[in-house]
Chain A
Amino acid sequence: MDSKAKVLAVRQGRYCVQADPAGVLTGTHFLDGDQACCEGALAAGCRFAAGYPITPSTEIVERFAQRAPLVGGIFLQMEDELASSIAIAGAVWAGAKAFTVTSGPGFSLMMEHIGFAVMTETPLVIVDVQRGGPSTGLPTLPGQADMMQARWGSHGDYEIIALSPNSPQECFDLTIDAFNLAEQYRVPVFLMMDECVGHMTEKVVIPPPGEIEIVPRRYTSLPPSQYLPYRADAHGVPEMVRAGDGYPIHITGLTHDERGYPATNYQAQEQLVRRLINKIRQHTDEIVRYEETTLDDAEIVVVAYGITARVAMQAVQMARERGIAAGLLRPIVVWPFLEKRLRELANQARAFVVAEINCGQIVQEVERAVSGRAPVVLVPGAGGAVHHPEEILEAILTHASTREVLR
């Protein structure tokens, strides 16, 4: 499933436009994931980035700082990640498409503004090039231990969208998707890269602008006298306006009513928070994306994402060579979670093997979806290195039907 087809599939009849040629570096390139992510943002129409240097994400904004002035964009190096993550929200309300990039320690500082973006329905993109943690951890080495932080890191109840690329090409493609999804649902969207994908250099094909679909911001056509900033459409998403357009809107992180005015009471909270959650939950089927490899007859389902999916793919092939029916399920959209597909696979699978560079995050979601109908085995990694395929293979072998292993 290529990303362009998926963007078309998820847009629910929403108006799409072609990419602005100014930002699209059409051609075949040799780029690392960080550089490809930057090109994806420019191709998506992003002309504003704010950031604070942090390894291993810095190359994204270094490239943006170099490229943006040539295409009418701006890079602001802010004083810290708190500032970066809210400066982009300000830019969005001025009409820009905007993103920031960071890694674990900076991501921790941005949590406050994830909640603010959720509550105020500010469409923006946050890229986390994951490294080993906790704390300063392993600045130059990979990790995948921020997955739950992306989901739950800010306080309160909310839903977001997170994508996980496994190659520089996907860093390009999924960055465009992230911007499109942000506009479509008016949520912060996360690109959960990792150090390996960020620093790995591969062929990246950037298509002509006419082949890149962009979801533009949906501005209201109502006059100020009739416009309510938080009256949602049938999909649960309200239309936006820009500062300067003559709409005296009030936007607040407090619980608010349809006028946007603070309404700190139970009824307003129920109405607002449920809508914010439902606009994602009720569209889970349209948002969820995954890639399947040899799953049709699989008795062992390996679940892995990002760089780990590439290692897991080799383990699955090694298992197949030994006559074991193994397959790979790779979540491309990690949040919302692909639990429906996992429930289906639980009917056929003998076991699920989850490999991730953390000590057990996405595995908990797999366990929840599988709900005791098959064993779910974690192949953990504390961070600092990718798995050896043999580690994953061993877990596959352990849970394969004995007869087949012996044969």
Chain B
Amino acid sequence: MSVLAEVPLAPNPVEAFIRSERIPHVWCPGCGIGTTVNCFSRALLQSRLNLERVVVVSGIGCTGRVAGYLQLTSFHTTHGRAIPFATGLKVANPELTVVVYSGDGDLVSIGGNHFIHAARRNQDLKVICVNNFTYGMTGGQVTPTTPLSAISSTTPYGCFEEPFNLPFLAESAGATYVARWTSYHVRQLTHAMGEMLRKKGFSFLEIISGCPTLYGRRNRLGDGLDEMKYFKDKSVVQHGANTKEAGIGFQGPIVVGKFVDIERPVFLEQMNQQLARTLDAQYAGCVGDYVPS
């Protein structure tokens, strides 16, 4: 027995949120996804929410594996369809706090249509998008967020597609909360996640994250620590920034902060109000506490 083993260790505060029996996880050394899960666990801890009513829904991909590591009711759905699955869950039981946790390829490429429509309807979903500029699980292909000129396995001569600016997309489509941080900004991430958990409405958090194994290696960006240095050096905190100006160029500045935090009736409120107004006493109401008295 080493001396260290005898020292009583304080329990890790996020351990209760992790399915320890599933560790080691699939993420690479230097990957930012695990960091975001740590932040999310801390946000949950601070939220004092009834965790029995918190549900995490993921799609497919590296970030899609988050649902499987959280000690919560969690669903690992099909590629791109986490949002419509979450929509069904939330509408059928409005008492649930439904978090969608997935990657850039999943949420805004194959799932892009669902993303904009859920924002338009203001579905009460908390959408966390870990954006590492690439499809990690399949080996580092170009995504709709890959910066121009960046190398990927399917843009070996550099990306020539204009990428999405996700905060601008989310705000344009109707999101009521939009923020962006990087995996370097752990305190800000935890704080933003806490805000989302309290916020009613379609909330969107983009987390710029390193992928040293694929994106970083192909673009000669060094290891995970070097990517963190980039996030630290090039991030510009600008709360309330015009999202239109928040696009990200290759290794360029990253505007971070809380960009949008507005109130707008959520889908179920709109539905209940309209039906109650039209049907009056005939309206049997839907589940939950949204029916106006």
Residues on A lying within 8 angstroms of B by beta carbon are 22, 48, 50, 69-74, 76, 78-80, 82-84, 86-96, 98, 112-113, 116, 242-254, 261-262
Find chain A residues with CB under 8 A from B285 CB. 72
B73, closest chain A residue (CB): A243
A90, closest chain B residue (CB): B88
Decide if A87 touches B87 in the complex (CB within 8 Å).
Answer: yes
B115, closest chain A residue (CB): A79
Can you give 21 contacting A-B residue pairs, CB < 8 Å? Answer: A50-B88, A70-B284, A72-B284, A73-B284, A74-B271, A87-B87, A87-B91, A90-B87, A90-B92, A243-B89, A245-B52, A247-B73, A248-B73, A249-B73, A249-B74, A250-B68, A250-B76, A251-B74, A252-B75, A253-B77, A261-B22
A22-B285 Cα distance, complex, nearest whole Å:
13
- Give B265-293 as 1s and 0s: 1 = Cβ < 8 Å from A's Cβ atoms: 00000010001000100111111000000
Find chain B residues with CB under 8 A from A71 CB. 284
A252-B95 Cα distance, complex, nearest whole Å:
23
- Selected contact of A74 from candidates B73, B92, B114, CB within 8 Å: B92
Find chain A residues with CB under 8 A from B81 CB. 82-83, 86, 112-113
A321-B83 Cα distance, complex, nearest whole Å:
60
B78 within 8 A of A: yes
Decide if B91 touches A76 in the complex (CB within 8 Å).
Answer: yes
Decide if A89 touches B72 in the complex (CB within 8 Å).
Answer: no
Decide if B92 touches A98 in the complex (CB within 8 Å).
Answer: yes
Decide if A22 touches B286 in the complex (CB within 8 Å).
Answer: no
- Selected contact of B279 from candidates A50, A70, A112, CB within 8 Å: A70
A24-B246 Cα distance, complex, nearest whole Å:
54
- Selected contact of A83 from candidates B55, B95, B114, CB within 8 Å: B114
- Selected contact of A69 from candidates B73, B86, B96, B275, CB within 8 Å: B275
A116-B21 Cα distance, complex, nearest whole Å:
25
Decide if A79 touches B114 in the complex (CB within 8 Å).
Answer: yes
Q: How far is the CB of A25 from chain B (nearest CB, A)?
A: 14
- Selected contact of B88 from candidates A94, A247, A252, CB within 8 Å: A94
B287, closest chain A residue (CB): A72
Decide if B22 touches A244 in the complex (CB within 8 Å).
Answer: no
Decide if B55 touches A243 in the complex (CB within 8 Å).
Answer: yes
Decide if A250 touches B19 in the complex (CB within 8 Å).
Answer: yes
Find chain A residues with CB under 8 A from B72 CB. 248
Q: How far is the CB of B55 from chain A (nearest CB, A)?
A: 5
A242-B93, A244-B96, A249-B74 are known contacts; what are 17 more A-B pairs with Cβ within 8 Å?
A78-B84, A80-B113, A82-B81, A83-B81, A84-B84, A87-B87, A89-B85, A90-B92, A94-B93, A112-B81, A243-B55, A248-B73, A248-B74, A251-B74, A252-B76, A261-B19, A262-B76
B117 within 8 A of A: yes
B149 within 8 A of A: no
Interface residues of B in 6-59 (CB under 8 A from A): 19, 21-22, 52-53, 55, 57
Q: How far is the CB of A79 from chain B (nearest CB, A)?
A: 4
Decide if A91 touches B92 in the complex (CB within 8 Å).
Answer: yes
Q: How far is the CB of A112 from chain B (nearest CB, A)?
A: 5
Find chain A residues with CB under 8 A from B76 CB. 250-254, 262
Find chain A residues with CB under 8 A from B22 CB. 261
A251-B77 Cα distance, complex, nearest whole Å:
8
**5 shortest interchain CB distances as A-B pairs:** A90-B88, A94-B92, A87-B88, A83-B84, A252-B76
A92-B283 Cα distance, complex, nearest whole Å:
23
Find chain B residues with CB under 8 A from A22 CB. 284
Find chain A residues with CB under 8 A from B92 CB. 48, 74, 90-91, 94-96, 98
B153 within 8 A of A: no
Find chain A residues with CB under 8 A from B91 CB. 48, 74, 76, 87, 91
- Selected contact of B52 from candidates A83, A246, A262, CB within 8 Å: A246
Decide if B93 touches A86 in the complex (CB within 8 Å).
Answer: no
Q: How far is the CB of A392 from chain B (nearest CB, A)?
A: 42
Q: How far is the CB of B170 from chain A (nearest CB, A)?
A: 16
A243-B89 Cα distance, complex, nearest whole Å:
8
- Selected contact of A250 from candidates B74, B85, B284, CB within 8 Å: B74
A89-B89 Cα distance, complex, nearest whole Å:
8
A86-B78 Cα distance, complex, nearest whole Å:
9
Decide if B55 touches A48 in the complex (CB within 8 Å).
Answer: no
A86-B57 Cα distance, complex, nearest whole Å:
12
A250-B68 Cα distance, complex, nearest whole Å:
6
Q: How far is the CB of B82 from chain A (nearest CB, A)?
A: 9
Decide if A86 touches B73 in the complex (CB within 8 Å).
Answer: no
Find chain B residues with CB under 8 A from A87 CB. 84-85, 87-88, 91
B219 within 8 A of A: no
Decide if B283 touches A93 in the complex (CB within 8 Å).
Answer: no
A48-B89 Cα distance, complex, nearest whole Å:
11
Find chain A residues with CB under 8 A from B55 CB. 243-244
Decide if B93 touches A253 in the complex (CB within 8 Å).
Answer: no
A98-B22 Cα distance, complex, nearest whole Å:
32
A72-B41 Cα distance, complex, nearest whole Å:
35
Decide if B73 touches A244 in the complex (CB within 8 Å).
Answer: yes
Find chain A residues with CB under 8 A from B19 CB. 250, 261
Find chain B residues with CB under 8 A from A112 CB. 78, 81
A49-B262 Cα distance, complex, nearest whole Å:
30
Q: How far is the CB of A395 from chain B (nearest CB, A)?
A: 43
Find chain A residues with CB under 8 A from B117 CB. 78-79, 83
A249-B74 Cα distance, complex, nearest whole Å:
6
Interface residues of B in 57-113 (CB under 8 A from A): 57, 67-68, 71-78, 80-81, 83-93, 95-96, 113
- Selected contact of A251 from candidates B52, B75, B93, CB within 8 Å: B75
- Selected contact of B78 from candidates A72, A74, A113, A246, CB within 8 Å: A113
Q: How far is the CB of A376 from chain B (nearest CB, A)?
A: 38
A245-B283 Cα distance, complex, nearest whole Å:
27
A244-B93 Cα distance, complex, nearest whole Å:
8
Decide if A86 touches B85 in the complex (CB within 8 Å).
Answer: yes
Q: How far is the CB of A257 from chain B (nearest CB, A)?
A: 11
A245-B52 Cα distance, complex, nearest whole Å:
7
Decide if B73 touches A262 in the complex (CB within 8 Å).
Answer: no
Q: How far is the CB of A47 from chain B (nearest CB, A)?
A: 8
Find chain B residues with CB under 8 A from A88 CB. 88
Find chain A residues with CB under 8 A from B275 CB. 69
Q: How far is the CB of A115 from chain B (nearest CB, A)?
A: 8
